[in-house]
């Protein structure tokens, strides 16, 4: 049986949900000998201004960039240590859903893996959701990894 997916992109921001998604993406990349891209997007909602010249939204502020890069490199190391041979980490700047979808199209990925933050319906309505946006606009398969619920204790 041939591999259903050859190029997997996992959205990673260091959160618990993203770590669960990374674990699942690593398993899939290993099982199918697929290329794995770990993608982190710095979301700079409002351009910073200093004096009269705005900072380009394509520029990640130094400290945030260092932190995100450290988180991203840790994720790449985890994948490599698990045995993924073809893995890369990429840090982009912009709106997370837009940058993720743009990268997937550019790289011809065939699967997106991402975590779910478990927001309430009210939060999703007011704030929006990266996973909702990706699911509704992706041209490829999307796997949203939800947190594992603790199983109820069975009476003895």
* CATH code, domain with 59: 3.40.50.620
With b for 16 or more beta-carbon neighbours within 10 A and e for fewer, the 16-33 pattern comes to: ebbbbbbbbbbebbeebe
Cα angle for residues 134, 138, 143 (degrees, 5° grid) = 65
Answer yes or no: is 87 within a domain. Answer: yes
Answer yes or no: is 71 within a domain. Answer: yes
pTM for this prediction:
0.80
Answer yes or no: is 151 within a domain. Answer: no
Number of compact structural domains in the chain: 1
Output the DSSP codes for 57-123. TTSPPHHHHHHHHHHHHHHHHHHHHHT-SSEEEEEEES-HHHHHHHHHHHHT--EEEEE-----HHH
Answer yes or no: is 83 within a domain. Answer: yes
Answer yes or no: is 58 within a domain. Answer: yes
Chain-wide mean pLDDT for the chain?
83
CB-CB neighbours of 123 under 10 Å: 12
Answer yes or no: is 79 within a domain. Answer: yes
Answer yes or no: is 40 within a domain. Answer: yes
Structural domain harbouring 42: 7-47+54-107+117-145
Query: Over the stretch 60-92, which tens digit does the pLDDT of each residue have?
Result: 567 777 888 999 999 999 999 999 999 999 999
Instruction: Check residues 111 and 95 and name the one with the higher pLDDT.
Output: 111
Query: Over the stretch 89-100, which tens digit does the pLDDT of each residue have?
Result: 999 999 999 999
Answer yes or no: is 152 within a domain. Answer: no
């Amino acid at each position: 049986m041939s591999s259903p997916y050859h190029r997997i992109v996992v959205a990673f921001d260091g959160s618990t949900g993203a770590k669960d998604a990374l674990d699942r993406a690593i398993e899939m990349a290993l099982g199918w000998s697929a290329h794995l891209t770990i993608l982190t997007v710095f979301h700079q909602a409002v351009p910073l201004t200093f004096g009269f010249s705005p900072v380009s939204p394509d520029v990640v502020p130094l400290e945030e960039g260092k932190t995100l890069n450290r988180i991203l490199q840790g994720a790449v190391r985890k994948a490599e240590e698990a045995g993924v041979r073809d893995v890369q980490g990429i840090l982009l700047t912009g709106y997370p859903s837009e940058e993720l979808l743009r990268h997937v199209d550019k790289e011809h990925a065939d699967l997106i893996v991402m975590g779910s933050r478990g927001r309430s319906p009210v939060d999703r309505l007011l704030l929006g959701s990266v996973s909702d946006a990706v699911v509704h606009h992706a041209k490829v398969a999307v796997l949203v990894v939800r947190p594992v619920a603790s199983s109820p204790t069975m009476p003895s």
